[in-house]
Structure 1
Amino acid sequence: MTWVFWALLSATFAAGTALLAKVGVEGIDSNLATAIRTSVVVVVTWAIAIALEKHHAIAQIGRRGWIFLTLSGICTGLSWLCYFRALKLGPVSSVAPIDKLSIVLVVLGAWAFLGEGMSLMKLGAISLIAVGAIMLVFA
């Protein structure tokens, strides 16, 4: 199975996340809802890591890996807190497209900080994503 398969599966689950979270956050503080969701994520991901016997490799993770995974975790938590707050306040059909503007930021960040290539086609594509997200919000 290629990365494309896993990326499409990720997109499918992300769509489910948005739709289910919008219903689940009704009548609940968004921070508490995020804490509940995060707890489920922790249990499920550790269960998978243990079931696949990947947890033994934890001792081999270097300092740099720990630092960047920790920073990524902080960003994930803050993103989820903001996302759930936005879902509580706004329509999921507008919140999700704005959230997906992260694609534009990732492509620009990968170019600026990770040395990934930038072409006119890629620049045009992220421009279309940005315009499309904004159009969805006001549609």
Structure 2
Amino acid sequence: MWWIYALLSAVFAALTAIFAKIGIKDVDSDLATAIRTVVIVILAWSIVFYKHAQHGLHTLNKLNWTFLILSGFATGLSWVFYFKALQIGKVQQVAPVDKLSVALAIVLSVVFLGEQLTLKNGLGALLIIGGTIILIL
């Protein structure tokens, strides 16, 4: 079941690149990122309230808060740089290079989370890295 959500994430990420490229024409990329963020905040909290998940706020501990906040900063910076790259580059170049994050996540999951690196995952990461280098050059 996880792969269905991951596939949907990929589809919407692809649409994000297309919609963003059209939307940032003649617009400051930071302003565009801020507008996108407001929409995401409204959508995310709407889902939380629809599911009545807001009641779980009191169960979050200091570690949860720390790493969710750090994740928010990382996401925000990722969006700022992604929109800037889209504004000056082609979607066909920017989106695949952005997906280098997949290979980086594999490496970081081994280093920081102690996850096992399988031959399949390692080979996949190397192929992504190789593809990214080809696109950049």
Instruction: Give the alignment's TM-score, normalised by structure 1.
Output: 0.94
Structure 2 distance, partners of 1:24, 1:51, is 29
Aligned-residue CA RMSD (Å): 1.1
Q: Which runs of 4+ in 1 moved over 6 A?
A: none
Percent identity, aligned pairs only, is 46
Cα drift, residue 94 of structure 1: 0.2
Q: Paired residue for 1:36?
A: 35
The letter of the residue matching 1:114 is: L
Paired residues, what number? 137
SS in 1 for 2:65: helix
- 1:3 has 2:2 as partner: yes
Structure 2 distance, partners of 1:121, 1:92, is 28
Q: Paired residue for 2:51?
A: 52
Structure 1 distance, partners of 2:108, 2:13, is 22
Cα drift, residue 133 of structure 1: 2.6
Structure 2 distance, partners of 1:137, 1:15, is 19
Q: Paired residue for 1:18?
A: 17
Q: Is the 8 A contact 1:25 1:88 kept in 2?
A: yes
Structure 2 distance, partners of 1:59, 1:95, is 39
Instruction: Give the alignment's TM-score, normalised by structure 2.
Output: 0.96
The letter of the residue matching 1:130 is: I
Structure 2 distance, partners of 1:95, 1:134, is 12
Structure 2 distance, partners of 1:121, 1:58, is 38
- 1:71 has 2:70 as partner: yes
Q: Paired residue for 2:105?
A: 106
Moved more, 12-21 or 115-124: 115-124
SS in 2 for 1:59: helix
Q: Is the 8 A contact 1:94 1:137 kept in 2?
A: yes
Q: Is the 8 A contact 1:31 1:84 kept in 2?
A: yes
Q: Paired residue for 1:90?
A: 89
Cα drift, residue 137 of structure 1: 4.3
Cα drift, residue 60 of structure 1: 1.0
Q: Is the 8 A contact 1:103 1:126 kept in 2?
A: yes
SS in 1 for 2:116: coil
Structure 2 distance, partners of 1:6, 1:50, is 21
Please list every run of 5 or more consecutive structure 1 residues that lacks an aligned counterpart in the other structure.
none
Moved more, 118-127 or 80-89: 118-127
- 1:134 has 2:98 as partner: no
